Structures are given as structure tokens and as C-alpha cells.
Structure 1
């Protein structure tokens, strides 16, 4: 995990920071996958999947070639879920 954190700090974070984003490692699975969450502007970027494969996965596999891959985890905030529920419930009441 230490090598992964170093690679993220040195190679991934600077790229993401240039686009007002960042990355959070959620977990390293027993079968060799790294689950990550992009944050900031990168979280909602249309090119996020390309960033995961070309920047994140490439940098991490350089230091840990045994990794199977990188899995993006998209978490929706509770506030966004509550806003959506309010909209849905409002439409139901008016119908």
C-alpha cells in the first residue's frame, strides 16, 4: 500500500490537481484491484474513465505490476439523493 500511496502522490495527484481534482483510495481488494474515488472537478468529468485507465492505472501498475486493475467508485452525496427524492415526490403529488 505504501508504494501505491507514493505513486499517487508523485504521479497521479499532480495531474488531477491541474484539473482541480483529487483521488481517494477506497480499498485494495484481496484479488488485486484498487478501488478509487475521484473527487473535485474530476468526479463529474466526462473523461473520468479515461483518466482512471490512462493516468491512475498506468501509474499504479508501474510500481505494483501485480495489480489486476483500478475500479472507480462513484459515490453520490446524501444531499444529492435527498434533492432527487424531493423532486420525485413533488412530481408524484402534483400528478
Structure 2
């Protein structure tokens, strides 16, 4: 992601998203923009692990970014858990 695009993303987040998240004691950080136009974010504070985080991402974060920045096709939460760790956890749950 180039610097200009990152600045545009941060501007949209600062104006339209972060004020609403901070009113709930939360926030977010941009992790990466992949080749498919998916912006990966990390939820922070009160938003990290919140049961409504997925809904917040779709109804607030994604809506604001997709409508204002054409390069962004969607937004997903980066849990910080690798696919390998997730696969091991699933094995434990299904065989344990």
C-alpha cells in the first residue's frame, strides 16, 4: 500500500470511524491491504474481542471505507492468529 493511499485510509478512519469506536472505549489499526482490495485491521481496546466487532466492521468501518476509497473492496479483522495455530486449535476442539 502506497503512502498516499495509507493517508487517505487514515483520514477516513479519523473522521468517520475512530470517533465512534472511541465512544465505546475501542479503536483500530490498519494492518495491511491485500492484492484483492481487502483491508485487514486489528481491533483494539474495548473493540478487541467484542462480540459485536464483526458487525461493527461491516456496518461502520467497511461501509465508510468502501464508499470513499475505490481501491478498498472489503474490510476484515486480523485476529493475529496464524492459519497454523488456528488449524491446531481446531484439531484440539474436534479430537480432544
Shared fold (TM-score greater than 0.5)?
yes
Q: TM-score, structure 1 length as denominator?
A: 0.74
Alignment of 1:47-62 (within 5 A): 47-62=52-67
Query: Tell me, which stretches of 5 or more residues in structure 2 are unaligned?
Result: 1-5, 82-96
Runs of 4+ in 1 over 4 A off after TM superposition: none
Report which of the two structures shows the higher radius of gyration computed on alpha carbons. Answer: 1
Cα deviation for residue 66 of structure 1 reads 3.5
SS in 2 for 1:44: coil
Query: Tell me, which stretches of 5 or more residues in structure 1 are unaligned?
Result: 77-95
Pick one of 5, 10, 13 that aligns with 1:8. Answer: 13
Q: Looking at secondary structure, tell me which structure has more helix per residue.
A: 1
Q: TM-score, structure 2 length as denominator?
A: 0.74
Q: Deviations over 1:14-53 (max 9, x none)?
A: 0100000000000011221100010001012110000000
Q: Distance in 2 between matches of 1:61 and 1:49?
A: 16
